[in-house]
Structure 1
Amino acid sequence: MASPTEEHLAGYISDRLESYLSFYGSNLNKRYIKFYEDIPAPLNKLFAFFHESFNGLLDFLNTKSRPGHYNADQSRMLHELIIDVKIIQSNLIDTQYDFEIDSYYSEVFEICKSFLKTSGGSVIPHNLQQVKIKELNPIFTLKAGLKVQRPNGVFTFPTEEIGAGSYATVYKFTDSLYNKEFAYKKAHPTLEADEKERFYTEFEVMKSLKSPFILEVYTLDKEQNYYVMELADETLEKYIERSPGLENASEKLKFIHQICLALKQVHSKNIFHRDISPKNILIKHFDHINMIKVADFGLVKIPESKLTRFSTEPKGFLNDPYLGFIGFNNYEMHHDTYALTRLIYYIFTGRTDDGIFTNPVFRDFFKKGISFEIEHRYSNIEELESAFFTNVVPSIREFGI
């Protein structure tokens, strides 16, 4: 049996969209259309219709008591649209429009199907949880994957999501030309122009930093708003969860040394990372060694840059809380050393508190690094590194943490 042509597929999608808009009297919300601006028409509008409709119906469901009654019209519409979107998804399998539904929403749909009725309304189960409505990111994504322009044509690589943040999602893919796995970071379509500029700046900064301990980036595509980068294996956070306390202490000391080398390279360019955290420090596995890869320069401070939204910029969770008073735009070297001090403590304890110590040398190192009096802190990474490896490391063998 021949595969449907692009014209037939577009016609099928258009017919479904027109029937929904006519039957339900919907006017597509531009905000939802923007979520899918990278999706080919008319599928982008169909996704926008479903997304807006599901959010409205699920939001209404959230207002109802548990147990309680879900109104007949809304119950019937939600049931029908869940069935319809699954049918459309099935019909588009193995085509260029093959798509995935957000995993959380898919679970919600299955739960709803178990109690929704098509007439007379529905009894809401007493244990039904409030639905987390997704209003900032798309709930439909094409399976087609990453499209890459090459001299001999456009190649599409299947992708798998491996992480998501407030302004971008990270995927991995295998490039068949190199037979190698890479990652790519794609900006959310809802970003404003200045936020996209910060995304591009993150790439340019990482491209300029030449260190084996900083995640390498390769190419930036401003049309599709993504950049390709080196694929790491795990975060430092995951590693510490698996190896708590003094377990693998010698390797942890190597990690700290590598992090210091990376940050010294960053500071040599008169740049501050501003988001040092175990989530943004990655680890790459090689045959006989693990290597640190500092990543996520989305909050990087560059001299003379005007990109930062100082009044609303989020702070890394290891950052100096005093930044909330003086402003994130006043971030300086002693704030990076503050965060690094806390990171070192985290590496050996898995904690982010103000420190519980049996080792007086480690305690003094920590207190100096996070001192409220800025002039008492370590003035740069070199000073902090020297204090740690000269004084603290020998004491760990005797006193622990």
Structure 2
Amino acid sequence: MSLSPQRQLDNYLSQFAEKQVDGKYLGLYDGERRFGRVFAWLHEQYNNAFEFMNYKAPQGVGGHFNADPSRELMEVNETYSALLRIASKAGIRIETKPEYQRVIDSSPGWLQPTCGSPIPEGLTPIEVEYYDTVFETEESGTTLAGTEQVRLQLVGEGAYAFVHKFTDPNYGIQIARKRLKKDADPKEVERFRREFDIMKRFDFPYILKVYRYDESDNSYTMEYCEHTLRDYISHNIQKMSYQTRHKMAMQFLYAMNFLHRRGVCHRDLSYRNVLVHTYRGSDAFMVKVSDFGLAKEKTSDLTSTGSAMKGSIIDPALKSFRDFKPVNDIYSIGFILNYTLTGKENLVTDGSRLGSIIQKCSATNPADRYQTVKGIIEEMKKLRDSRTALQSA
């Protein structure tokens, strides 16, 4: 009876328990409990080899890499390849720093087991890493309760989390899985869990549905959407009727009205945080507001935003995120409405009725804006026809 992939991996990793590894390399991989020792060993071996290559060919014009170091590097490469293969079978992908991957990938073409190896021109100098990790693990599979392991496909990466998709073997549908990055600090873990809790409370057609949180690796599953608003509009705007775009805009507005009526400000609206789920074999779609990591509830004291604000549409009138109110979301809503209805990021300024609504949403002075999303909805309902929308205000 063959061993499971996980057992094979454990057996392979056990051989590194007896290998001598410099403590300075072990210290770099404290966060990798399972792979720490093998990563530290590989890092040390590659550093030794790369330092010697730089010494033998300091100007990058080629040089001679001695026979013993050549054979040693070939053995290290074999170990590295075996680790990648066995880890992959267990559903784990290993990411390697690009500079190291560059040399590893090129080496089979010039390493020789006897008489030394010619160092190719341009290979050196190699940037040797002493103070940060070179290897890290990234899952390529996950195990669902009562099923075999399923394969994960990376579909997105944000400032603090990865998003993968996989096909649920029980139902044959695609599911998304969002996992916090391993170097997340306690505040980011708290924010991530809070994002899930907010979304879990809401059962609304135009808000992304989440399913289950996994404490073991700080991840959660959610419904999968094929497109961001940016991608969907940019690829389809020419063939979308005004009525279709209007319907999409209204779905987005209904989601934001739902949130605001329940005391939640999104605070991170962007063309990529609004998703579009499409249905095979039809033109039907469903808008889904997502990414609630910076959402603020009336009862919350969360004020900081961090790097996750990159790409968001931020109200320039906002002095402090402590003071964020629905009217600040409405500024961003104006831009998203504009993009949905026109396919352009520059706001409509043609004096049309549609342009008036968009301009009022994103007025410089918050007091001049719509104060509620319901007010925008009522005005947009009057513009179901493109001819009405384009009439002068």
Residues 259/8 of structure 1: CA separation in 2 closer, same or farther (3 Å cut): closer
* CA positional deviation for 1:138: 6.7
What secondary structure is seen at the aligned counterpart in 2 of 1:244? helix
How far apart are the structure 1 equivalents of 2:361 and 2:47? 47
Match of 2:25 in 1: 28
What count of residue pairs does the alignment treat as equivalent? 379
Among 127, 138, 143, which residue is 1:141 paired with?
138
Q: Where do 5+ consecutive residues of structure 1 fail to align?
A: none
Match of residue 243 from structure 1: 236
Amino acid at match of 1:274: R
**Residues 166 and 175 of structure 2 are in contact (CA less than 8 Å); yes or no, is this contact kept in structure 1?**
yes
Residues 276 and 288 in structure 2, CA contact (< 8 A), matched pair in contact too: yes
Structure 1 equivalent of residue 12 of structure 2: 12
**Contact preservation (8 Å) 1:69, 1:124:** yes
1:8-157 aligned within 5 A: 9-16=9-16, 18-19=18-19, 21-22=20-21, 25=22, 27-28=24-25, 30=27, 32-34=29-31, 36-37=32-33, 41=34, 43-47=35-39, 50=42, 68=60, 81-91=76-86, 94=89, 96=90, 99-102=92-95, 105=98, 108=102, 112-113=106-107, 121-124=119-122, 139-143=136-140, 145-149=141-145, 156-157=149-150
Distance 2:274 2:5 in 1: 46
State whether structure 2 residue 176 is matched by structure 1 residue 180: no
Q: Distance in 2 between matches of 1:248 and 1:315?
A: 31
Shift of 1:342: 0.3
The one-character-per-residue Cα deviations of 1:165-196 (angstroms, maximum 9, x if unpaired) are 11111112222233332211111121112211
Equivalent in the alignment of 2:374: 382
Q: Name the residue aligned to 2:359.
A: 367
Distance 1:199 1:260 in 2: 25
Query: What is the deviation of 1:232?
Result: 1.6
- Tell me the C-alpha RMSD between the 2 structures: 4.3
| C-alpha contact (below 8 Å) 1:318/1:339 kept by paired residues | yes
Q: Deviations over 1:264-323 (max 9, x none)?
A: 111121000111122111111235411111111111012232344357663552221343
Alignment pair present for 1:228 and 2:226: no
Q: Distance in 2 between matches of 1:218 and 1:358?
A: 44
In 2, are the aligned partners of 1:275 and 1:299 still within 8 Å (CA)? Answer: yes
Asked if 2 retains the 8 angstrom alpha-carbon contact of 1:116 and 1:122, the reply is yes
1:278 lines up with 2:251 in the alignment: no
Distance in 2 (CA, whole Å) between partners of 1:2 and 1:16 is 22
Contact 2:338 2:348 in 1 (8 A): no
Deviations 1:132-165 (A, max 9, x none): xxx799743344x223345xxx753222222111
Q: Percent identity?
A: 24
d(CA) in 2 for partners of 1:55, 1:345: 53
Q: Which amino acid aligns with 1:124?
A: G
Partner of 2:193: 200
Instruction: Name the CA distance, whole Å, in 1 between partners of 2:340 and 2:292.
Output: 21
- Aligned partners of 1:219 and 1:249: how far apart in 2? 38
